[in-house]
Amino acid sequence: MDQQWGDGTRLQHVGEEVKHCGAVNPPIFQNSLFVFDDLDVFLSRDRKPDGPGFSYSRLGNPSLTIVEKKIAALERTDKAKVFGSGMAAISAALLACVEQGSHVLAVDMCYGPTQGFLNEYLNRFGVTVSYVSGVDTDELLAAIRPETTVLYLESPSSLIFRMQDFRTITAECRRRGITTITDNSYSGGIHQKPATMGVDVVVHSATKYLAGHSDLVAGVVAGSEQFIDRLTEREINWLGGLIMPMGAWLLMRGMRTLKLRMRHAEEQGNALAQFLTAQSWVERVHHVGLDDFPQRDLRDSQMSGCSSLLSFEPKDQDADKLRRFIEALQIFQLGVSWGGFESLAVPLEISPMGWDGPRRLVRLYAGLEEMEDLTADLTQAAAQAW
Ligand SMILES: *Cc1c(COP(=O)(O)O)cnc(C)c1O
């Protein structure tokens, strides 16, 4: 790969240097097993799972290697591994960083099942966890304990889009030997490169923007050669949370258009946020791309763009009216995920650290439908509710 290549070029060509029968798309290596015709090669085979000697698909498969090389190239890391889901990736990355007695510091708005894994699973093995909002860097650094081994970030988070100051935080964590992990799903890996700002390990729910078509569940861990090799030898080998070759191929196919889709997502997100800001029934819009985004300086220093995931707080917090609004939507479908072709809405009641109390909000994801149709849908639903 040419280091000068931009993301669009990397996504098309990295990992596909070898053409099979001249096929412009690589075949799907639908294999559990790779056999050897030479005993000496078998005995001496490179045990590195993603090395040239593929032996067994739990440890490495060419369909996975292709997409892993693209993800590492996208995230500016040495290596990456692809998993059967975002949670398989996140749990493996966290397990790689803790032992009995370890403390994990995490941001309170990180993905719910990630918190579940930290609170209700790792605690069974003597790992403690505590949370900070992540907005105040001094407060975050002050919450680090002598036994902290990993700092788990999600910037921006996916409900109210809080960011953390990667450069300051990771410099301090490096000094103290603490591994930093961030969930980078929001940015699709296009608009933010955490590894270039010192983050050790980048995870994604590839189900979202990376795959991009609501037809696949997948996850990603990207990091240094040392971290990924160790992860492959241990968590991948022993826990086996990998993706099937067909899934890896679909992820590769989805990622061909990632750059284009993220550029469009930014346009959609900004247009939708501007529309919402002007509506009488909206109290507050949470969107990374807004001019008055509370952390705009940090955003401008860490991100090159935003996406089409946002949320708003309705002025009228009445639960029944909110229900009427959600039920009246015709194009926006009721669903929790995002990053695919279809627009989605989900009502939430949350109480993040630093808020006075719980607030109801609606998270919206703008898909690939026409923006005029989406805003018309919101207008007619709001007229029925408020
Ligand atoms: C969906 C999601 C995950 C989990 O990913 P799965 O692929 O569903 O396992 C993790 N983090 C964020 C921010 C997500 O939105």
Q: Cα torsion at 46, 47, 48, 52 (round to 10°)?
A: 40
Over residues 160-171, the mean pLDDT reads 98
Coil, strand or helix: which one is 254? helix
Compute, in angstroms, the gap from residue 8 CA to the centroid of ligand 1: 24
Backbone angles phi, psi at 33, to 5 degrees: -135, 145
Q: In this predicted structure, what is the pLDDT of residue 89?
A: 98
Residue 96's Cβ-side half-sphere holds a number of Cα atoms within 13 Å equal to: 28
Cβ pair 203, 89 in contact under 8 A: yes
Atom nearest to 338 CA in ligand 1: 15
* pLDDT above 70 for 145: yes
Please give the Cα distance from 205 to 89 (Å, whole number): 8
Interval 105-144: pLDDT, tens: 999 999 999 999 999 999 999 999 999 999 999 999 999 9
- What DSSP state is assigned to residue 341? S
Protein residue with least CA distance to atom 12, ligand 1? 111
* Measured CA angle at 221 (ends 220, 223), to 5 deg: 145
Q: Is the CB of 185 under 6 A from ligand 1?
A: yes
Return the closest-CA partner of residue 109 out of 354, 365, 343, 346. Answer: 354
Interval 245-287: pLDDT, tens: 999 999 999 999 999 999 999 999 999 999 999 999 999 999 9
Report the chain's mean pLDDT, rounded to a whole number.
96
Please give the Cα distance from 195 to 201 (Å, whole number): 7
Q: Is the CB of 219 under 6 A from ligand 1?
A: yes
Please give the Cα distance from 201 to 207 (Å, whole number): 18
Please give the Cα distance from 370 to 372 (Å, whole number): 6
- Rounded to two decimals, the pTM is 0.97
* pLDDT above 90 for 44: no
Compute, in angstroms, the gap from residue 221 CA to the centroid of ligand 1: 12
Cβ pair 251, 218 in contact under 8 A: yes
Q: Is the CB of 217 under 6 A from ligand 1?
A: yes
- What DSSP state is assigned to residue 185? G
Interval 176-221: pLDDT, tens: 999 999 999 999 999 999 999 999 999 999 999 999 999 999 999 9
Compute, in angstroms, the gap from residue 307 CA to the centroid of ligand 1: 16
Compute, in angstroms, the gap from residue 163 CA to the centroid of ligand 1: 17
